[in-house]
Amino acid sequence: MDKVRIGIIGCGGIANGKHMPALSKIPEVEMVAFCDLIEERAQKAAQEYGVPGAKVFTDYKELLKLDLDVVHVLTPNRQHSFITVDALEAGKHVMCEKPMAINSAEARKMLDAAKRTGKKLTIGYQNRHRPESLYLKKCIEAGDLGEIYFARALAIRRRGVPTWGVFLDAENQGGGPLIDIGTHALDLTLWEMDNYEPAMVVGNTFRKLADTENAANPWGPWDPKKFTVEDSAFGYIRMKNGAVIMLESSWALNTLLTEDGKVVLCGTKGGADMMGENGGLRFNGERFSKLYTTEPDLRGRGVAFYDANMGGTPPEREARMWIEHVMHDGPLYTKPEQAFVVTQILEAIYESNKTGKPVYFD
């Protein structure tokens, strides 16, 4: 395979802000088809990123009839599962943007379809590809932190409510900040810990600030009538090996302690967090009867022409790793089975909030 022919389904914000710019930097990629319910968006995407003669559709099933290698599913959350399943059944490999699906039953259909068809499937969790995430992973694999038994997965915004698209629509999205940005923090935490065996979840969601009129918000005030999801959500997750994860997420919360897409890990030999200077990685521990804190320089400052992030931005690295997997069976960085566990835990937090009871896993 010399070229990877890609079809884009969903030409909105995440397509234009992440996937298409990243794919455009890979010489082996050809974006040959674009689909969106709003035809003008698909046409614009085709003009900016498509090969000459790129096809434009408003019905994704028509796009799937083309001779494509890969499909990127970049739609609202509710559409993820059935479009992905249809694409896999049509013989395409699939990159689906996070979250995997709105619930575990839908995510299971995606897993089953991938296994049944033998096609490749991954989920878009680009935070794994940040320099600090990659360095931390190496340190954990080397045993620097020992047994990790407590973690915090943080996606806290004081105000950061997305007011475009269908983010505020429970029907299309399946939830608010928990399923939108909490999913990133949880995925990153589970991946760093290499622990995908939850035992019990307790959770609460809140809608306390959503009715604020003319609210202060970087993307402009939201419409309370359209704000049908939670504005914050929190979960307590106990893993089968006894480790505990606290998941905290918010789009709107009266707090100054704002950390978005960050993890805190505490182990028997040391700890680490992503709350250093400019959001940098910090390690802590004890050596020679003294406590220490250290912050590795991951940006190559002071060395001419060198950048530790020379592999590109996280979306660019994610895209390259995905295409390498498709073309040459390179490592699959985000396995769908891992994303499935993330979806299970998010669903359990929502369920626990509804019932007021813990959710237990077999």
pLDDT in tens, 166-203: 999 999 999 999 999 999 999 999 999 999 999 999 99
Q: Name 19's Cβ contacts closer than 8 Å, sequence gap at least 6.
A: 8, 72, 74, 95, 97, 124, 315, 319
119 and 21 fall within a common domain: yes
- Over residues 301-348, the pLDDT tens digits come to 554 444 445 468 999 999 999 999 999 999 999 999 999 999 999 999
72 and 204 fall within a common domain: no
112 and 168 fall within a common domain: no
The H helix count followed by the E strand count for the chain is 12, 15
**Per the domain annotation, does 324 fall within a domain?**
no
145 and 176 fall within a common domain: yes
- Over residues 108-166, the pLDDT tens digits come to 999 999 999 999 999 999 999 999 999 999 999 999 999 999 999 999 999 999 999 99
Q: pTM of the full predicted structure?
A: 0.95
Structural domains of the chain, count: 2
State which of 124, 154, 176 marks the end of a domain.
124
**Per the domain annotation, does 325 fall within a domain?**
no
State which of 124, 149, 169 marks the end of a domain.
124
Query: Region 96-105: what's the mean pLDDT?
Result: 98
Residue 294 zone, left/alpha/beta (φ > 0; ψ -120 to 50; rest): beta
Task: Look up the domain containing 107 and give its range.
Answer: 4-124
